[in-house]
Every structure is written in C-alpha cells, then in structure tokens.
Amino acid sequence: MSKLTGRSGRQQGDETGQAPTRPASLIARAVSTEFGRRHVKGVAITRLLVAVAMVTAGSLYCASGHLWGALWFVPAAVNLWFAYLMPSWKQALDAGSAQL
C-alpha cells in the first residue's frame, strides 16, 4: 500500500478526523441538532440557499424604496455564518460526545 500512496506505513492512518483544540461553544450546542450533525453538507447548503433568498428579498425591498428591507441582511449574514462554521462545530461536538 505504501507504493501506491507514496507514504510509509506509519503515515497511513485516518488523517481527516483531526480533533479540535477547543470544546464546542454554547451556540454550537444550541443551534446544532442530531440531524444537522449527520447531514452537515445538506444543512449547510440549505442555510446558504435561505441566505441568498433573504438577500434577494432585502434587495428587492430596498430597491422599491422600503429601506427597512436592509434588516433582511442581518439574518442572512447569521445564516451564512452558521453554514460556514458547521463543519468545525460537528468535529467539536463529536469529540465532546466521545469524551463523555
């Protein structure tokens, strides 16, 4: 196997599951569900699509003269932030549940 990958036998462990250095935050525990931890990619894509819809709605309201439409940008940004941080939260939550 080391001839195929070019690595020695010692380095062929599972390198993708690096343990996080910090425990999961309170926000990560409150926002994340068991379904969300199992389907990280799908939930992140859904959050991304919802954020795009919120930005579109806010832009349409602002373009029509209703400046309160800019308030749609705040939940859109929060949704994008959650979608971005979900993979690291999954690792931290999985490591925290393994230690219990």
What are 62-89's pLDDT values in tens digits? 999 999 999 999 999 999 998 888 877 7
How many whole angstroms separate alpha carbon 31 and alpha carbon 70?
24
Tell me what the mean pLDDT of segment 8-32 comes to. Answer: 62
- pLDDT, residue 7, reads 54
Query: Is residue 20 classed as helix, strand or coil in its secondary structure?
Result: coil
Answer with the residue of higher pLDDT: 80 or 98.
80
Could you tell me the sign of the dihedral formed by the alpha carbons of 26, 32, 37, 42, in that order? Answer: negative
* Minimum mean pLDDT range among 17-21, 25-29, 45-49, 93-97: 17-21
CB–CB of 82/28 below 8 Å?
no
For residue 92, is pLDDT > 80? no
For residue 33, is pLDDT > 60? yes
Longest dimension (CA), the chain: 65
Out of 3-17, 28-42, 75-89, give the one with best mean pLDDT. Answer: 75-89
pTM score over 0.75: no
CB–CB of 63/6 below 8 Å?
no
How many whole angstroms separate alpha carbon 38 and alpha carbon 82?
16
